[in-house]
């Protein structure tokens, strides 16, 4: 007899961890808004003691996200930053983390302005060349931390090559997969040890709640992170777990539209005379286009483009109507932002210059509205320059 076929991604998104409720048959996972659970006697309970430690709605979401990323277990946290914080609190004073140099601005802020006071060391390199990783790993390096595509310059790192180096050097590889979602990129299958997401973005998909997840390939990491949920308590509330469970059911369908419209918008921008450069891995001139095609099954919805100056960026951003000017990404609505004054303000002018973030750079997260309406909106906004 043939072994049962593993269900496809869209099927897992809808069914993994989301089996009908055994008590009532409800097709959606119930929200358990409880802080505690009645126990039958000393040491006798139904597997739940206190909601900081475990909650049934949270367990279902963790099961679902582990299935989507191909991990053994997942742990959800109150935001993407709380998830990243949990990862580095698995380390000890004196340990070193080697990071990509083009990360979401909040990540180096946490590393440099908070965690370095606790004796952790952080250094930053260009991970688009895997040889740089090999050279920069030190004796005390415990984690290589990579975002691919990067935020906001959309550079791609070779996860299979970096994970081979990490394995050889016995260093854990952590990948922030927020931009691609597990629908387009599966870092654990390429050898990463941990995948982190801001679920606030594509996994939730509706811009209605913050959250973070770490998906683990190793039991020791999963156990340590469960301990950290209990010990430090930055867990996701049952209601917000349920919002992510609801959002994830349409992840495959949404990502298909995000990707299709992302390609259309990138093409439009790359032909526009007011746009000086477009950063999108789906464009043939992107420096890692070939790698992106190999490593990801889509190019996604995130695009950055150069308007030439702060003045030009401001003129166009004041004019957008369908595209909403604001921080964040990955929602059904098109979000447009200005990295130099928003997400990456904390890097300072020197830090931004090092990775190519200019004052004229604009980032767009293409939503799932009718793409012609997005194009018309961008056209009329760019006319203001």
Ligand X SMILES: Cc1ncc(COP(=O)(O)O)c(C=O)c1O
Q: Which residues are tagged catalytic?
A: 52, 104, 176, 201
Quick check: 314 binds ligand X (CB under 6 A)?
no
Encoded one letter per residue, x for contact with ligand X by CB under 6 A and - for no contact, window 319-338 reads ---------x----------
Non-local (6+) Cβ contacts of 107 within 8 A are: 81, 84, 99, 145, 147, 176
What are 212's strand-pairing partners? 77, 198
Cα(94)–Cα(85) distance, integer angstroms: 17
CB of 207 to ligand X, least distance (A): 11
Quick check: 210 binds ligand X (CB under 6 A)?
yes
Task: Between 155 and 274, name the residue whose CB sits nearer to ligand X.
Answer: 155
Non-local (6+) Cβ contacts of 74 within 8 A are: 61, 62, 63, 65, 66, 213, 214, 215, 216
Non-local (6+) Cβ contacts of 193 within 8 A are: 166, 172, 173, 174, 216, 217, 218, 221
Quick check: 151 binds ligand X (CB under 6 A)?
yes
Cα(85)–Cα(196) distance, integer angstroms: 11
CB of 193 to ligand X, least distance (A): 17
CB of 168 to ligand X, least distance (A): 27
Quick check: 198 binds ligand X (CB under 6 A)?
yes
Task: Between 151 and 163, name the residue whose CB sits nearer to ligand X.
Answer: 151
Task: Between 17 and 80, name the residue whose CB sits nearer to ligand X.
Answer: 80
Give the CB-nearest residue to ligand X: 80
Question: Helices (DSSP H) in 249-320: which residue ranges?
Answer: 251-271, 289-295, 310-319
SS3 state of residue 324: strand
Task: Between 177 and 312, name the residue whose CB sits nearer to ligand X.
Answer: 177
Encoded one letter per residue, x for contact with ligand X by CB under 6 A and - for no contact, window 6-45 reads ----------------------------------------
Q: Is residue 143 within a helix (H) or strand (E), and if so which, with residue range?
A: strand 141-147
CB of 169 to ligand X, least distance (A): 25
Task: Between 56 and 339, name the residue whose CB sits nearer to ligand X.
Answer: 339
Non-local (6+) Cβ contacts of 79 within 8 A are: 198, 200, 210, 211, 212, 234
Among 212, 298, 360, 367, binds ligand X (CB under 6 A): 212
CB of 345 to ligand X, least distance (A): 13
Quick check: 152 binds ligand X (CB under 6 A)?
no
Encoded one letter per residue, x for contact with ligand X by CB under 6 A and - for no contact, window 72-111 reads -------xxx----------------------x-x-----
Quick check: 365 binds ligand X (CB under 6 A)?
no
Quick check: 304 binds ligand X (CB under 6 A)?
no
Task: Between 241 and 385, name the residue whose CB sits nearer to ligand X.
Answer: 241
Quick check: 178 binds ligand X (CB under 6 A)?
yes
Buried b (16+ CB within 10 A) or exposed e, 346-372: ebeeebbeebebbbbbbbbbbbbbebe
CB of 385 to ligand X, least distance (A): 26
Quick check: 176 binds ligand X (CB under 6 A)?
yes
52's tokens: 């900081």
Quick check: 200 binds ligand X (CB under 6 A)?
yes
Distances (CA, A) of 231 to 52, 249, 352: 9, 31, 36
Task: Between 234 and 385, name the residue whose CB sits nearer to ligand X.
Answer: 234
Binding site for ligand X (CB under 6 A): 79-81, 104, 106, 147, 151, 176, 178, 198, 200, 210, 212, 328
């Amino acid at each position: 007899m043939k072994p049962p076929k593993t269900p496809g991604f869209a099927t897992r998104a809808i069914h993994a961890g989301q089996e009908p409720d055994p008590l009532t048959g409800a097709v959606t996972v119930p929200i358990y808004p409880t802080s505690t659970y009645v126990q039958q006697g000393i040491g006798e309970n139904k597997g739940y003691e206190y909601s900081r430690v475990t909650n049934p709605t949270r367990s279902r979401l963790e099961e679902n996200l582990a299935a989507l990323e191909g991990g053994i277990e997942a742990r959800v946290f109150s935001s993407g930053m709380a998830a990243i914080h949990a990862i580095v609190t698995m380390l000890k004073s004196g340990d070193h983390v080697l990071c990509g140099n083009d990360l979401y601005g909040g990540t180096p802020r946490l590393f440099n302005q908070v965690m370095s006071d606790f004796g952790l060391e952080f250094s930053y390199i260009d991970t688009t060349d895997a040889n740089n990783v090999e050279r920069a790993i030190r004796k005390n390096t415990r984690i290589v931390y990579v975002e691919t595509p990067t935020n906001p310059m959309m550079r791609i790192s070779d996860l299979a090559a970096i994970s081979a180096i990490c394995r050889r050097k016995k260093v854990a590889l952590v990948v922030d997969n927020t931009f691609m979602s597990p629908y387009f990129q599966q870092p654990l299958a390429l050898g990463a040890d941990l995948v982190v997401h801001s679920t606030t973005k594509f996994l939730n998909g509706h811009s209605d709640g913050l959250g973070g997840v770490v998906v683990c390939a190793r039991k020791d990491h999963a156990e340590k992170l469960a301990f950290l949920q209990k010990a430090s308590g930055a867990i996701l509330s049952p209601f917000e777990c349920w919002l992510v469970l609801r959002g994830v059911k349409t992840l495959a369908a949404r990502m298909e539209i995000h990707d299709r419209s992302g390609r259309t918008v990138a093409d439009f921008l790359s032909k526009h005379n007011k746009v000086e450069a477009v950063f999108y891995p789906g464009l043939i001139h992107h420096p890692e286009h070939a790698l992106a095609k190999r490593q990801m099954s889509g190019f996604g919805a995130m695009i950055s483009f150069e308007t030439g100056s702060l003045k030009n960026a401001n003129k166009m951003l004041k004019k957008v109507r369908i595209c909403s000017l604001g921080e964040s990404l990955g929602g059904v609505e098109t979000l447009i932002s200005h990295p130099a004054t928003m997400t990456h303000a904390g890097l300072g002018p020197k830090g931004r210059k090092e990775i190519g973030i200019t004052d004229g750079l604009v980032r767009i997260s293409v939503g799932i509205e009718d793409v012609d309406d997005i194009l018309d909106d961008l056209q009329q906004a760019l006319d203001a320059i």
